Amino acid sequence: MPIKVDTEKCTQCGNCETQCPGDLIRMDPETGYPMNAYPDDCWYCAVCEVECQFDALRMVFPTLII
């Protein structure tokens, strides 16, 4: 967390990783899918969501915010 990836839809294109303003997302070397490598640094702007052309990713609010 705090992103949720629908692996049925995700093409592993990496656009979310490329555009995250905080540079928080990395492609998991084991699964190939995006993950938030620095969840404590998320501004919950959801750029990752709008940059996903496949509707495959959801931003999840940090626990201290929900």
Partner 1 sequence: MSQTIPFETITTDLLIIGGGTAGPMAGIKAKKKNPEADVLIVDKATVKRGGSICRGMDAYNNVTIPGEATVDEYVEAVDIISDGIQDKKVNRVLAENSFQMLKDLEEWGAAAFPRNEDGSFMVQQFHPKGKFLTEMRGDIKPVMAKLCKKLGVRTMDRTMATRVLTDAQGRATGATLLNVRTGECTLCKAKTVLICTGSNGRFNLPDTGFLFGSFDCPFNAGEGLSMVYEAGGELCNMEHHIFSPMIKDFEGPGHSTFTRYGAYLINAEGERFMLNYHEKGERAPSGIRGMAMRREVVEGRGPLYYDLRHLDAETVEIIKDGLFSCERPTEKEFFQNRNIDIGKDLIELTVSGPNICGGHGLAGVKVDETARTTVPNLYAAGDVASTCMGFVGAAWVFGSLAAEDAVSRLDEIQAPEVDEADARAEFQRLLAPLHRDEGLEAKEVEYKIRRMVKPYLASPKHGGRMESALRLVRQYRGEIDQIKVQDLHGVMKANEISSILDTVEMSLQASLFRTESRWGYGHYRSDFPEKSPEWDGCRVVVRKNADTNAMETVKETVA
Given candidates 8, 29, 30, 66, which one binds partner 1 under the rule CB under 8 A? 66
Phi, psi of 16, rounded to the nearest 5 degrees:
-65, -40
Beta bridge partner(s), residue 18: none
Residue with tokens 């049925």: 8
With 0-12 CB in 10 A as exposed, 13-18 as middle and 19+ as buried, what is 30?
exposed
Give the contact letters, 10-49, x = binds to partner 1 (CB under 8 A), - = no. Answer: --------xxxxxx-------------xx-xxxxxxxx--
CB of 12 to partner 1, least distance (A): 18
Residues forming the site for partner 1 (CB under 8 A): 18-23, 37-38, 40-47, 50-51, 59, 61-62, 64-66
